[in-house]
């Protein structure tokens, strides 16, 4: 298994198409298909369900995609962190983030940071929370965005923002006429949502179970677009975060809130206890404070 094979896999994972990915990668469809089959044989699992409408990632593909992003990112760091920093007289600050944060902050956040701190380059990575905790514990990152609940025996934490969980529903679905949806209305209905590697999964499931509803999970995925596709085809209802859903939902779907004011995700900026922050980390925290005061 090589990083190039993982990059090929991630391209197919995102496009659901050998042909489209091959064109983007400037290789033949045959070569790309062979690479995917070789990867499946190497890890002894099926990564895609092949259908007439395209390739559907399996749960194994979702798991591999998480790992592949981490592996490729770390490999890139080995070759780039020092050379780029030395050539530009710059340092690199790695910030790990829970699902949703990087989309919420956006490129303007990064651009304005560079205007204020041109010698600090940001390495922003989205990871499952268990990976983030491990990186903090092993001093691989100084600061990270983590969702509640926070383990205050290990971390210092500062509240940053919160988003409501929401439902993406096809306009033809009977529940589309409601403004807010109680958990009981979702009993037995197929749901597509962020996979269990992220804390948002058990958080959502526990709310269903607390209300006596056993959720019918159709799909767990790391792909936000795939969640929306489930709703767009009326194969089920998607569960997402409100600001993400507003950005990418189509005219064939509506966005509805849960009938539960506590159904939200709170995000904190965390640091390891008793660890003195570097000057780069302190600059980032100060910048974030100013950014939050304006948004």
**Pairing state of beta strands 216-221 and 190-194?**
parallel
Closest C-alpha among 25, 19, 23 to residue 6: 25
pLDDT tens-digit readout, 67-117: 888 787 777 766 665 555 455 568 999 999 999 999 999 999 999 999 999
Query: Residue 71 has what pLDDT?
Result: 80
Contact 237, 190 (CB under 8 A): yes
Query: Residue 82 has what pLDDT?
Result: 56
Query: Residue 182 has what pLDDT?
Result: 95
Q: Which residues of 176-211 are buried (b: 16+ CB within 10 A; e: fewer)?
A: beeeebebebbeebebbbbbbbbbbbebbbebbeee
Enter the pTM of the model. Answer: 0.67
Query: Residue 21 has what pLDDT?
Result: 86
Query: Residue 218 has what pLDDT?
Result: 94
- Cα–Cα distance for residue pair 197/254, rounded to 1 Å: 27
Query: Residue 78 has what pLDDT?
Result: 67
Query: Residue 80 has what pLDDT?
Result: 61
Query: Residue 133 has what pLDDT?
Result: 92
What's the burial of 9, exposed, middle or buried (CB within 10 Å: 0-12/13-18/19+)? Answer: buried
Q: What parts of the chain have a pLDDT lower than 50?
A: 85
Range 137-142, long-range pairs (CB < 8 A, 24+ positions): 137/272, 139/272, 139/275, 140/94, 141/94, 141/95, 141/96, 142/93, 142/94, 142/271, 142/272, 142/275, 142/277, 142/278, 142/281
Query: Residue 155 has what pLDDT?
Result: 93
């Amino acid at each position: 298994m090589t990083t190039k094979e993982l990059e090929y896999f991630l391209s197919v994972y995102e496009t659901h198409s050998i042909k489209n990915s091959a064109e983007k990668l400037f290789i033949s469809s045959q070569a790309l298909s062979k690479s995917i089959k070789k990867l499946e044989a190497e890890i002894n699992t099926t990564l895609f369900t092949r259908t007439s409408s395209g390739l559907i990632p399996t749960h194994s593909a979702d798991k591999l995609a998480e790992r592949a992003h981490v592996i490729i990112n770390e490999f890139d760091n080995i070759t780039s962190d020092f050379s780029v920093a030395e050539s530009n007289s710059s340092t690199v600050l790695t910030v790990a983030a829970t699902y949703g944060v990087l989309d919420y902050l956006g490129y303007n956040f990064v651009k304005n940071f560079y205007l204020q701190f041109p010698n600090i380059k940001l390495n922003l990575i989205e990871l499952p929370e268990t990976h983030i905790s491990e990186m903090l514990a092993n001093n691989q990152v100084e600061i990270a965005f983590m969702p509640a609940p926070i383990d205050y025996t290990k971390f210092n934490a500062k509240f940053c923002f919160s988003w409501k969980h929401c439902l993406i529903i096809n306009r033809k679905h009977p529940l589309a006429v409601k403004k807010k949806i109680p958990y009981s209305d979702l009993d037995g209905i197929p749901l597509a949502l962020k996979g269990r590697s992220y804390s948002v999964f058990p958080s959502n499931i526990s709310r269903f179970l607390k209300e006596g509803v056993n959720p019918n999970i159709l799909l767990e995925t790391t792909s936000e677009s795939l969640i929306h596709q489930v709703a767009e085809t009326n194969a089920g209802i998607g569960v997402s975060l409100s600001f993400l859903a507003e950005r990418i939902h189509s005219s064939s779907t509506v966005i509805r809130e849960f009938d539960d004011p506590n159904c939200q995700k709170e995000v904190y900026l965390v640091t390891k206890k008793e660890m003195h922050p570097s000057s780069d980390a302190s600059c980032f925290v100060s910048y974030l404070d100013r950014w939050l005061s304006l948004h």
